[in-house]
Structure 1
Amino acid sequence: MKKSLLALAMFWFTSIISSQEYFPGNSGVNNQNDNYTAFTNAKIYVTPTRVIENGTLLIKNDKVIATGQSVNIPQNSLVVDLKGKYIYPSFIDIYSDFGIKEPQRNRQRNSPQYDAGRSGYYWNDHIMPENNAVEKFEYDKKKAKELIEAGFGTVNTHYQNGIIRGTGVLVTLNKEAGNSARIIDQNAAQHLSFKKSVTSNQKYPTSLMGAIALIKQFYYDSKWYEKGNADTKDLSIEAWLKNKSLPQIFEADDKLNDLRAAKIAKEFNIDYIIKGGGNEFERINEIAATNLKFIIPVAFPEAYDVTDPYAASKLSLADMKMWNQAPSNLKSLTDNGVTFALTLDGLKKTSDFKSNLLKAIQYGFDKTKALEALTTIPASLLNKSNIIGSLKEGSYANFLITSGDLFDKETTLYENWIQGSKHVVKDMNIIDIAGNYELTVGSQKYELGIQGEADKPKSEIKLDTVKIDSKITYKNNWLNIFYKPRSKEKEFVRLTALVNSGENISGKGILDNGNEISWKAIKKTREKDKETTTEEKKEEMPEIFPVTYPNKAYGTISLPQQQNVLFKNATVWTSEKEGVLNNTDVLVKNGKIAGIGKNLPKADNIVIDATGKHLTAGIIDEHSHIATAAVNEAGHNSSAEVTIEDVIDSEDSDIYRNLSGGVTTIQILHGSANPIGGRSAIIKLKWGEDPEDLLFKGAPKFIKFALGENVKQSNWGDDERVRFPQTRMGVEQVYVDYFQRAKEYDAKWKTYNKLSSREKAKNTAPRYDIEMEVLAEIINSERFITCHSYVQSEINMLMKVAEKFGFNVNTFTHILEGYKVADKMKEHGVGGSTFSDWWAYKYEVNDAIPYNAAIMHNVGVTVAINSDDAEMSRRLNQEAAKTIKYGGVSEEEAWKFVTINPAKLLHIDHKTGSIKEGKDADLVLWSDHPLSIYAIAEKTMIEGAFYYDYEQMKKTETQIQNEKNRLINMMIESKNKGMGTQEPKKKDKKHFHCNSLDYQKL
């Protein structure tokens, strides 16, 4: 049956009557309806910006024939007088799963990394462009009713499962038609996301960065395949190529993911339509700069129930501000020129849509823009402006009839016409009788109040101030009221009337004694509402807290700016041959160190008296896992294709904490889940900047390798141990195999690139492989290795493998048995980045000693002290000081372990790591000796801008508390007004380490 419906859908353009025009009928009589319907005297929104007063809408069957003030109405027309009413195009939601069953999670054990379980398709079954939602679509009457009552007439629905999900189907919600009529386009858009398929048990990817790398590799493979380079068929790629010209809708669901998707779009020249998360206002400048179009949810967080002080203490300022600011997202996007459609996705209840939209309008969202985001824009994004989204001639007759302004709280939606079929939401002919009346029954007078919806009113009757039990029914304008007089307990007075107006009502009734009586209800006139003054309007507007960068505790209203600063009379730790200079000035200009000496001229510079204080270069952490949304891509034994640069979390509070410890630069390393890990990111801790601005400009290329227990999955559960290697000798074989493959891959490309254009046309180009490209960079000494290591035998092994393939390992990190092989390290030319005094936390570190750093240093190895820990990274100055106790390292050399030495290991020592003229002004002003436990980082500067100030931090803490208190009171006030609330929940931050595997559930 489903296949036959698919076949019918292919002919959607010929007719969308519930039965196709060429289908034979049972009667032999032509029953085709050629009549017209004319809706007259309405205010018609043909488009959001083209409005016709007292206009006529003429439709026939499923199409709009004409709109205007002087429409010629044919004789065979049914005329509907809509005097005083409004007509709008029905809404469109282009991000939906309507009629598609939710995918069921596969509970089986993870499969091996390359076992996709599908023959003839792409190797990874989270890539499924061959999926077509139309094959899974079944009209859902219950859900359709909800959507129709919310004003929607058309949805683009898709199977929300996988990274590349396949095509969506564009359908109307017409309950009077079959699928052959409802289906407007069975391939309306291609859908993507960062989320794995829940129906697959294939392990890779396990991380956000893995999902990004997989999408990129698929794009490269598709381009290569399209040129006819493959010897075999790939049904997934063929489906992708067939549909690549469709609108590409990418589910991102968060502002930083929006930017990640936009980065892919830019690299591959694809105009994604990004489905956002509702927090785009927090990075609005970067969002606007993508120049992409968006789909934005109208789902806002409820206020938290903070009446319990203990529960309130769980909440972060970020969560509180999100509640306060989220309704301003749509205005922010509009004000910054971002084109977007709206979606119901994310709403708990469809019925919340209108109230949330009205809330956004209250927060400044323009009504015309709101209508555009529900009609013309979604139609345009799907290239369907000719048939949906407006009431232009030839469009489908999809429209709403309302009592007034669509975006007025009191407006009633009467009817939602879809493809010319009427769907009644509220009876348009019923007279609204809500109001307060003086009720006279015989000689007795009462107060009568009628409230609620027009077709479901509720009554309240009072005699003097006493409330009397009553009940009201109202149907087809017949009103029935039942009530008990105060002196009686069982008998009812029964009143009935045919309502002709909502002002005065009169009819007959039966008293509790059985006598017939006349009655009347006279509506009370209200005093005209006073004009609201400008000041009162301002008071009615909700207080919206300003957005900070980042939009959480310790964020700033404006980003720090470079300043020309003169530090006077400091004790300057140069980390250069000049050593420590007493009573010395340091001049910073244009983000660089411009002068070092005594009595430097003040000129127009900001002068900071550093007398009795110490000025150092910023601390550099060679091995960190803060400021990232993922740390391990554990699905492969080699994940060189992934990069931490794709998943930088610029809003990690550990950035600010590190600044408070004098850290200015870090290398964010991939974890140690596999022998060949992912590429690293070297960043400067520019708190408040976006991810791209954190990247160290011109930084060399690095990648993380790993040895030991983690890579052979020693401590993983049985369900996770599904890949090679599982022994130390297997680890060595991985390196040899992959480097041999990379060497051969590199040779193929070098040979191909030497060919002339004519020769290239005759030869098949090698397949572009991100992973092999990265490994070839290592062989060609264009990328450096930082290797997680512990045991001397494995350290020796990797150096030998590297020498076999003609390159050097750059850094052994952890390297807790480095003291055993320091001479070999020196000979090989590799540095050591180590812990100061960690040992015995797992079997392979049983031989660790705190003298390790000093021994390696004394042999001539470049040594750094690293953290690998979000908490330790705040006190690397103290970690460096431990090497003075353990090994007798001098103070100046110990300080170099966290400044110039890690800079050398990262090949950025020409830019940072010491105080030298011409270098970046990455500086820290300490209250005391920088190696002392009493030293406080008073100011932390990066490239001439202060990203941390101790005194300002203390003021900010007071401000944070004040903001929380104000927001708590606003939430309590919201609850007292009857608004919904949610339970406060503390969000514990996950601190990543090398072996973190549960960091992200894709």
Structure 2
Amino acid sequence: MIKVHLRLLIFMCSFSLFAQDYFPSNTGVIAKNTNYTAFTNATIHVSPTETIDNATLLIKDGKVVSVGKSVNIPKNTTKIDLSGKTIYPSFIDLHTTFGVEKPKRGGNGPQYGPSRSGFYWNDHIMPEQDVMTSFKYDEKTATELQKLGFGVVNTHMPDGVVRGTGALIALNNNADNSMRIIDSKASQHLSFSKSVKSQQRYPSSIMGSMALLRQMYSDAKWYEAGHIDTKDLSLEALNTHKNLLQIFEAGSRANLMRADKVGDAFNIQYTILGGGDEYERIDEVKGTNATIILPINFKLAYDVDDPFLASTLTLSDMRAWNQEPHNPGLLAENGIKFALTTHGLKSTKSFSSNLIKAIESGLSKQKALEALTTVPAALLGKSDLLGTLKTGSYANFLITDGDIFEKKTKLYENWVQGEANILEDINTKDIDGDYTFKLAGSDFKLSISGSTSKPKAKLESNDKNLGTKINYSDDWLNLIFKTTDSTKNEYTRVVAKITNLKTLSGKAILPDGNEISFVALKKDKEAADKKGAKAKKDETVNKASMYPITYPNLAYGFTEQPKSETLLFKNATVWTNEKEGVLENTDVLIKDGKISKIGKDLSSRNAKVIDATGKHITAGIIDEHSHIATSSINEGGQNSSAEVTIEDVLDEKDINIYRNLAGGVTSIQVLHGSANPIGGRSAIIKLKWGETANGLIYDDSPKFIKFALGENVKQSRYSTNARFPQSRMGVEQVFIDYFTRAKAYDALKKSGKPYRYDAEMETLAEILNGERFISCHSYVQSEINMLMKVADQFDFKINTFTHILEGYKVADKMKAHGAGGSTFSDWWAYKYEVNDAIPYNAAIMHNAGITVAINSDDPEMSRRLNQEAAKSVKYGGVSEEEAWKFVTLNPAKLLHLDNRVGSLKVGKDADVVLWTDHPLSIYAKAEKTIIEGVTYFDLEKDMQMRDAIKKEKSELINLMLQDKNKGIKTQPIKKKEHHDLHCDSMDSHN
């Protein structure tokens, strides 16, 4: 009794300090000795596939000596009993910037040449950069990572296209760098992003970065072969580090595929930092054979309380919230190796909760552990030291009170290189849980959490919170709380000695000074767990089910890829674009993706018959000049970008593909922009909605490149004119200079002598050799004449003048040169150099014998090209059949595709449109748009999909509302604007 009163006296005095936070001393199980330490009676996960119960882990000098049930423990051993505890290998993060200060942005102003001598010609290529020159161990961040279970991180300098070497660092707060640094050159890092330290303009786009990387690898091979006498420290470093782990920061599935494309060209297998959206094209990702470094920065639910704001959400963003947590599990199911990373998290604290969410969404715990241990260790070539607790490995391990992947599991200690980092006091009795008791005639509910680190308590009576304070140390519990009488400011104090983890017993001192016995009974954890597990299971079934992926994975995507069909259209008006002209009451049979028959009274046993009475069938519309279906338009970092290609940056998810199909468009040429005189190579694609980016490109596609003249290339509307050329005279000189170089390059190549591969010169040589065709952005007659003269000087032809709004002035010269014209129907006066444009331009060029097309250069106009063609009937009196060829057969001829598309002829591709009305009418709608026998747009199905989209959005909104009502954090809605790309659009490329 005397002891109890003494304890109460100490307790009462201590409450004067209650305004201060109380932190129990964390003594842990630190073993400071140079001998052995044995952790006994633990459940030990030696590796993700090997678990031993009631086992011993023996360590010495920072490494594992032995592990198993029958470990021979030497005499000079410190033994630590871990009965009821679990040991795991600590985690590894392959992609961090730990201990590295964020690089500072360099000077202002345009820069076109390199700022360094003795290095590669482009400042953004820095393989010689060594992260250790700027590394400084960050103990605070290390502690944060230790709390997540990480023991080792791979760090690098996040700056540049080629970023140099990364280092493998042990998160050992008790050592110096000589011990912490496991490997000072563990990896080589790359990205598509420029260095912030240099203002060198090139590359200014992802396609520019891809071209730069390709040229760099070619130059490195040339340098290694001894063909360059001048010392290049960058290329030397690149060659020296080529056998290191090559980590490419992609950041999205689209960029992942682009990175792999670069690597494949040089037999390099990158390990690629993904974007968490790999699930959208899982087969395509699997085909790369890459190991993915996988962020788990899942989207929060949106705050959808406001119906107006909720209506601005895209279905793709809403789906991402639901689908992203399933991504790790889907990668595992499909045999794709991946390592998990904290990269991309706004707060690393969300890593554990997101990982548990991934496990609830289908990721097995074994695969999760592999992704944090053995997979990164193997990639680093350090499986003998890291990732497991096998003999000889580093003594990097976690001590927990159970399954590391359960929410309530406590991580007590994180040992790194045999040194303990105490996270929670393992010796303190865990009294977390819910309790019930009666005191002074009132019923109470007590909840305690964080008892082994930062204890918190909540005491309620009749659902009223009594404002509880708690101290817990050395197995003594002190509580103070207000009485249930809210009219009085009185307190009850409780003290209890913890001897039984199911019962709290001691004394309570009432406000009047009387002492009574206190007993609180812990609720049955097993029963509560079962009840909670059932509730959790029910919730998981509701919440964790994944909405189906579509192709592409956004509104109007297909639930499965559509197939080619045998189709028989009956009794249509057929616009053949051939000598047969327009045929009334005629049938068209499509079979095996081709036009099989055209005639009357056709039949086919297995065909799907479509009544086309009163309707019109035409070849699909072809847009010679478009900028849809791509994520990048201009590489404007230098005055020639012949080395880049739009094929590298196609975007199969652009909704404008579907909208164009709804306008009867089946093929387009995606052109580089007009930022420079010599632009990039184009991509000629079919609008196969739901296909991969590469699946859009024409087989054996003709080779085209974009040139440009006029205001855009001489930078008339730029605030700073620093790059050559700045005049129309300068534009001519650019062409002469580059083709002179290309001619010399081609001659050296054909001579059989050694030559340095130059992607830019290769492309221009293709023009000289008639293997690549030019589509040139043009307006003013003087410049059109100029370029034809330059072409004549170097003996090649300009294939197409696009825009060509002064074409009517030089139609005779164009005809003599052999150039075609792809123009606007009636655009004029939107800038100075189009003041002389007239709507009769197309008709005048056509009447002069030029192959004329009407193009869009605009995503809205492109889906109304049938109406644009009709304007030439009004302006210039062009016949309906010839006007229709302006958007079908003629662009096919300009693109050298008229043997495959552009008209309805037996044997040609079945790229066909069924119109509800005369195709040149403003009332006409594309009822079906078919490419190679596959129906990619169907007006009736479109209406059905609209209803399905509305239903899916409503369901997702309800799920988000459920999250918010449960108190789960949400994010505000920020309306996204879709920015259409045009000739002068520039990337925001860092």
Do residues 985 (structure 1) and 974 (structure 2) align?
yes
Structure 1 partner of 2:890: 901
Deviations 1:616-654 (A, max 9, x none): 000000000001111011111100000000000111000
Do residues 398 (structure 1) and 400 (structure 2) align?
no
Do residues 859 (structure 1) and 859 (structure 2) align?
no
Structure 1 partner of 2:428: 430
Structure 2 partner of 1:137: 135
Change (3 A) 1:538 1:973: closer
- Deviation (angstroms), 1:450: 2.2
Change (3 A) 1:983 1:466: closer
Change (3 A) 1:604 1:501: same
Match of 1:576 among 575, 578, 582: 578
AA aligned opposite 1:282: E
Contact 2:714–2:727 under 8 Å retained in 1: yes
Match of 1:927 among 906, 916, 930: 916
- Deviation (angstroms), 1:525: 3.7
Structure 2 partner of 1:539: 541
Residue segments in structure 2 that go unaligned for 5+ positions in a row: 1-30
- Larger CA deviation: 68-77 vs 461-470: 461-470
Structure 2 partner of 1:661: 663
Distance 1:251 1:728 in 2: 40
Distance 1:532 1:438 in 2: 23
- Deviation (angstroms), 1:454: 2.2
Deviations 1:728-750 (A, max 9, x none): 11110000000000000010111
- Deviation (angstroms), 1:498: 2.5
Contact 1:575–1:892 under 8 Å retained in 2: yes
AA aligned opposite 2:988: Q
Structure 1 partner of 2:361: 363
Structure 2 partner of 1:492: 491
Match of 2:635 among 633, 636, 641: 633
The TM-score with structure 1 as length reference comes to: 0.93
Contact 2:445–2:461 under 8 Å retained in 1: no
Structure 1 partner of 2:444: 447
Contact 2:107–2:198 under 8 Å retained in 1: no
Structure 2 partner of 1:967: 956
- Deviation (angstroms), 1:500: 2.0
Deviations 1:291-313 (A, max 9, x none): 11110001100011010111112
Structure 1 partner of 2:183: 185
Do residues 282 (structure 1) and 280 (structure 2) align?
yes
Deviations 1:523-553 (A, max 9, x none): 3446463685999587355232100011111
AA aligned opposite 2:92: I
Do residues 817 (structure 1) and 816 (structure 2) align?
no
AA aligned opposite 1:989: H
Deviations 1:228-278 (A, max 9, x none): 000201111111111011010001111111111111111110010010000
Distance 2:498 2:829 in 1: 87
Structure 1 partner of 2:11: none
1:262-281 → structure 2 map (5 Å cutoff):
262-281=260-279
Secondary structure, aligned partner of 1:787: strand
1:69-88 → structure 2 map (5 Å cutoff):
69-88=69-88
1:335-374 → structure 2 map (5 Å cutoff):
335-374=333-372
Structure 2 partner of 1:873: 862
Distance 2:140 2:463 in 1: 44
Do residues 784 (structure 1) and 782 (structure 2) align?
no
Structure 2 partner of 1:1000: 988
- Deviation (angstroms), 1:429: 1.6
Change (3 A) 1:861 1:85: same
AA aligned opposite 1:453: G
1:730-741 → structure 2 map (5 Å cutoff):
730-741=730-741
Structure 2 partner of 1:97: 97
Change (3 A) 1:367 1:959: same
Distance 2:46 2:949 in 1: 49
Do residues 379 (structure 1) and 377 (structure 2) align?
yes
Change (3 A) 1:362 1:465: closer
Secondary structure, aligned partner of 1:871: helix
Distance 2:264 2:464 in 1: 70
Structure 2 partner of 1:222: 220
Runs of 4+ in 1 over 6 A off after TM superposition: none
Secondary structure, aligned partner of 1:422: strand
Structure 2 partner of 1:37: 37
Structure 2 partner of 1:910: 899
Distance 1:300 1:978 in 2: 17
Change (3 A) 1:148 1:554: same
AA aligned opposite 1:579: G
Secondary structure, aligned partner of 1:188: strand
Distance 1:462 1:167 in 2: 57
Structure 2 partner of 1:561: 563
Structure 2 partner of 1:14: none
1:84-163 → structure 2 map (5 Å cutoff):
84-111=84-111, 113=112, 115-163=113-161
Contact 1:505–1:522 under 8 Å retained in 2: yes
Secondary structure, aligned partner of 1:433: coil
Match of 2:683 among 671, 681, 692: 681
Deviations 1:162-213 (A, max 9, x none): 1100010100111001111100001110000011111211111111111110
Deviations 1:94-119 (A, max 9, x none): 000010011122351121x2x21101
Structure 1 partner of 2:19: none
- Larger CA deviation: 458-467 vs 232-241: 458-467
Structure 2 partner of 1:643: 645
Distance 1:461 1:315 in 2: 42
- Deviation (angstroms), 1:352: 0.7
Distance 1:267 1:869 in 2: 33
- Deviation (angstroms), 1:452: 2.1
Distance 2:511 2:428 in 1: 29
Deviations 1:637-678 (A, max 9, x none): 100000000000111000000000000000000011100000
Distance 1:541 1:795 in 2: 62
Deviations 1:924-967 (A, max 9, x none): 00000000000000000000100000111111111111111111
Distance 2:940 2:930 in 1: 14
Do residues 807 (structure 1) and 796 (structure 2) align?
yes
Distance 1:603 1:155 in 2: 65
Secondary structure, aligned partner of 1:423: strand
Structure 1 partner of 2:750: 750
Change (3 A) 1:993 1:481: same
Distance 1:580 1:841 in 2: 37
Distance 1:229 1:688 in 2: 46
- Deviation (angstroms), 1:496: 2.0
Structure 2 partner of 1:26: none
Residue segments in structure 1 that go unaligned for 5+ positions in a row: 1-30, 754-764
- Deviation (angstroms), 1:486: 4.1
Deviations 1:943-994 (A, max 9, x none): 0100000111111111111111111111111111111111111211111111
- Deviation (angstroms), 1:497: 2.6
Change (3 A) 1:825 1:525: closer
Q: State, as a whole percentage, how many aligned pairs show the same letter.
A: 60
Distance 1:883 1:264 in 2: 45
Distance 1:510 1:604 in 2: 91
Q: How many residues align?
A: 955
Contact 2:361–2:545 under 8 Å retained in 1: no
Secondary structure, aligned partner of 1:93: strand
- Larger CA deviation: 323-332 vs 529-538: 529-538
Do residues 775 (structure 1) and 764 (structure 2) align?
yes
Contact 1:110–1:202 under 8 Å retained in 2: yes
Secondary structure, aligned partner of 1:553: coil
Structure 2 partner of 1:300: 298
- Deviation (angstroms), 1:521: 2.6
Deviations 1:849-896 (A, max 9, x none): 111111111110000000001100001010000000111000000000
Distance 1:724 1:748 in 2: 27
Distance 1:372 1:959 in 2: 39
Contact 1:837–1:850 under 8 Å retained in 2: yes
Structure 2 partner of 1:388: 386
Change (3 A) 1:962 1:448: closer
